[in-house]
Homo-oligomer: A and B are copies of this chain.
Amino acid sequence: MTMLCSADEGMWLFSNPPRKLLKERYNFEPTQEWLNHLQQSAVRFNSGGSGSFVSSKGLVMTNHHVGADTLAKLSSAEHDYLTDGFYARRHDEELPALDLELNVLESTEDVTDRVLAVVKPGMSGSESEKARRAVMNTIEKESLDKTDLRSDVVTLFQGGQYQLYRYKKYTDVRLVFAPDKEIAFFGGDPDNFEYPRWCLDVCFFRAYENGKPAEIKNYLPWSKQGAEENELVFVAGNPGKTDRLNTVAHLEFLRDRVFPSTLNTLRRREVLLSNFGDKSLENARRAEDELFGIQNSRKARAGGLAGLQNPAIMEAKIIAEKNFRDQIANDPKLKESSDVWQEIENAVHAWERMYVNHGLLERGAAFNSTLFSIARDLVRLADESEKPNAERLREYNESGLESLKQELFSEAPIYDDLETVKLSDSLAMYLEWVGARSQQEQANHPASDRAQADTSGWKLLNQVLDGKSPQERGADLISRTKLRDVAERKRLFEGGRAAIEASADPMIKLARLVDPRSRELRKSFEAEVEEPLRQGYAKISTAKFALDGASQYPDATFTLRLAFGTVNGYQQQGRPIPPWTEIGGLYTHAKAHGDVYPFKVPKLWVERKDQLDLETPFNFVCTADIIGGNSGSPVVNRKGEVVGLIFDGNIQSLVLDFAYNEEQARAVSVHSAGIIESLKKVYQADGLVKELAGEENR
């Protein structure tokens, strides 16, 4: 339970860095200037990932697998940039991404008091949720009007703190360089989350403003040397989600319900997309990026679940919680927080009761289709736009509208065959989970998950399926909807409620059909689960600050954090694992696997092997505390120079979701020297290399 830090633990706020720890362990005292510079050099990829500015001309470095979403959207049957790679020798060859938004965190402001003040004692869950939403929407809107910056109220410590984050946005982003996928993702799914590794998981974009490369003041210079053993390094990035503050009851729910259920769905989708992709090379290309994401999540979740199922980890949580509760019970000022564990457990039980239906309808597991998501956004926008900003659902709030529109009106390709397969299968899953289809069947067969289906569940299901089998209905919806046409989406968006109500588009009609029940479930979830959890964790978090002092870091929330650690190998099954690999190891590892996919050395790398310095460091590990979302984060030294690029964690790091451990858990990075050597010798990307070296001659 305790989050008192020892070791290289922590995903720290830039506004509350681990000054004491850094001083004591490493005799390092970051200046405010050093912190500000790193913060503003860091970039968030809103598609999910991190990055950094690495030149004064807007050059952004991230992972190939973070850029993959954009690479896939830019690809077609003719040009497969995701697989084959890309390099623009001149600015005018750079390819505009279709819907990518980059964010740079300009400033943060604590708004905890203002947010917490609106929740009055005696309010119901529903009332406090509404009040809290209103104040958060209002703060964001005020900030947007005042600064014109993207403004997000971020929930920290699972409800213990609220901060207003203001971001500078870049929406004209262009592709500069991507290697071929074979080297970016060498070892494929089998080597994912493993170490040692030999991956050039790197990709460069360029941010543009007013049609020209953005002039960037805060960017990271390149280290001549690169990372060395035992060197202190820092990681600035956006870890996605951790659950370290969670109570034991909450963790048990994740272990027994959320993770197993999520894994079932992930495996289902993995098999579905693998089968789809196996049918032809073009099918494989269409499904590739999504399939990678699913496999990556499946492996990460399986590792997380294994952690929760490990009695050693859970026992430690139980003991820590007991100690913490004893401390609270014995502290007259904190005693009134004693009930909070029961309150959280009640909220978890409420979640359990609505888990299936909320997942199917509001989270959309029953409608696994891009076109359905578009339809839902259009339908909800028509309703929400008519309400005062403070009353809107968070994601349709005015401050986020521009970002939402960029996504909604993206020209990214949507493939009917893939959409049909996905939607049909998720409708079949809906049918499986809700179960019986007639009232009589419902009454006759109380089965597990199905038992949760409310009595109106089967009615809605029947209406959704419209008398057809899931396969027929899926094919029917995808073939008849017009939403793949961006102009039609714009027409419906601009036409507002009248246009939506008049639309005969079957996908719009489906989204409208589902919406009342879906909103009802959302409301219950917010009132009975989210709100009580926020209030509960606020109390726990307050007690922790009171007992353990101010030096704490919040659970990850896909917002900017500072991690630190040293470049260090580890022991595994009695064998030492080295801190870094060398380029030459790529050839050895490939050979050991028969040189077949996904362990195949790409053609260019075979041809140019002789020119490479095979002893150049390629990938390395460090003890920094990172997790999914940190992909693409820069690794810098004390001088703030780039020494590496985070792209993965090892298999032992997958339990970091719940607890930090520096014995074996490691962050895995591409080494800065390996990047330069590859760019020079294999890709002959001289312009890019010069730009990274600060010789901007383009």
Contact = CB atoms under 8 A, between A and B. Distances in A.
Interface of A: 188-190, 249, 252-253, 256-257, 260, 264, 267-268, 270-271, 274-275, 278-281, 298, 305-306, 309-312, 345, 349, 352, 356, 428, 431-432, 435-437, 441, 444-452, 465, 467-472, 593-594, 596, 598
A515 B441 CA distance: 36
A448 B445 contact: no
Given A305-B428, A356-B448, 15 more contacts: A190-B275, A190-B279, A249-B445, A252-B445, A253-B445, A260-B432, A270-B271, A280-B593, A306-B470, A306-B471, A310-B469, A311-B467, A352-B445, A352-B446, A448-B448
Which 10 residue pairs spanning A and B have beta carbons closest together?
A310-B469, A260-B432, A190-B278, A448-B448, A256-B435, A190-B279, A281-B594, A267-B271, A267-B267, A448-B449
Contacts of A252: 436, 441, 444-445
A165 to B, nearest CB: 36
A468 B312 CA distance: 8
Contact of A448 (B278, B298, B309, B451): B451
A256 B598 contact: no
Interface of A is mostly: helix
A319 to B, nearest CB: 13
21 contacts: A189-B275, A252-B444, A252-B445, A256-B432, A256-B445, A257-B448, A264-B268, A270-B271, A271-B298, A274-B274, A306-B470, A309-B428, A309-B431, A309-B469, A311-B437, A311-B467, A311-B468, A312-B469, A349-B445, A356-B448, A448-B449
Nearest to A432: B260
A345 B468 contact: no
A657 to B, nearest CB: 16
A306 B428 contact: yes
Nearest to A593: B280
A191 to B, nearest CB: 9
A457 B62 CA distance: 48
Contacts of A437: 311
B448 A452 contact: yes
Given A279-B190, A431-B309, A436 B270 contact: no
A596 to B, nearest CB: 7
Contacts of A310: 469, 472
Contacts of A451: 448
B444 A249 contact: yes
A373 B128 CA distance: 56
A330 to B, nearest CB: 23
Contacts of A306: 428, 469-471
